Amino acid sequence: MSVSDQKKKQIVVAAIAEFQEKGYAGASMDRISERAQVSKRTVYNHFESKDALFRAINQCLADQVNSALELRYDPDLPIRDLLVRLGWAEGDLMINPCFMGLARMVMSETIRDPDLAADMDSRMTKLNVFREFIERAASEGKLHVEDPSLAATQFLGLIKSRSFYPNIHSGRVTERPEMERIIEESVDMFLARYGVKDAESQAAAE
């Protein structure tokens, strides 16, 4: 890592701490430079404004989310195993204290500023990845889904309603065993709605 990149990383780390402690409005570029142990001029060489710095932090959060979604669809796996794997793409973030702290800070500001919220949404690929995953499973006859976008939103909602939203204000982070239960139960509920019955079950139902 070059000296310039190292200083940029120091600034971002310091800014995250400053925004978490003071909020966007109360954050000071002077204090950020002090926290980063660089000159104020160095801060402005990398980030032209506090808004640009905050948007860079948004990108850090988006990068973490998007990186977690780099999972391979395996057509040979049973649908339940596929969905559990997909669930953990989200679950691994929910049990990460650093990610949750960053998400908590960013969310507090995006609620205040619709433009920041829109900027954050534009950086995320999560819903598209979930939709494509479910869409492919449906095309292979493993799920019965008419609206993959809706199904993807519902699947994410099942997981986040128990592991993300309740913890945003409490400061709590879900433990791995609890996350495992949440994912397993979310998959079961999702399959109860969108699962494809085997021929024997269908015959019995008829």
Domain residue limits, the chain: 1-48, 58-197
Superfamily of domain 1-48: Homeodomain-like (1.10.10.60)
Residue 78's Cα: distance from chain center in Å? 25
* CATH no. for 58-197: 1.10.357.10
Q: Which residue has the tokens 């999972």?
A: 71
Q: Would you state the structure tokens that stand for residue 153, as one six-digit string? A: 């939103």
Dihedral over Cα of 150, 107, 87, 73: its sign: positive
List per-residue pLDDT tens for the chain, 206 residues long.
Answer: 687 778 888 888 888 888 878 877 888 899 999 999 999 899 999 999 888 888 887 777 777 766 666 778 899 999 999 999 999 988 988 998 878 877 887 777 777 777 766 666 666 557 888 999 999 999 999 999 999 999 999 999 999 999 998 998 788 899 999 999 999 999 999 999 999 975 333 333 33
Position 204 scores a pLDDT of 34
Position 144 scores a pLDDT of 96
Angle at 43 between CA 37 and CA 46, to 5 degrees: 130
Position 186 scores a pLDDT of 97
Q: Would you state the structure tokens that stand for residue 27, as one six-digit string? A: 């954050």
What is the DSSP secondary structure assignment for residue 48, as one 8-state letter? S
This prediction's pTM: 0.73
Q: Would you state the structure tokens that stand for residue 123, as one six-digit string? A: 């950086």
Angle at 26 between CA 37 and CA 10, to 5 degrees: 25
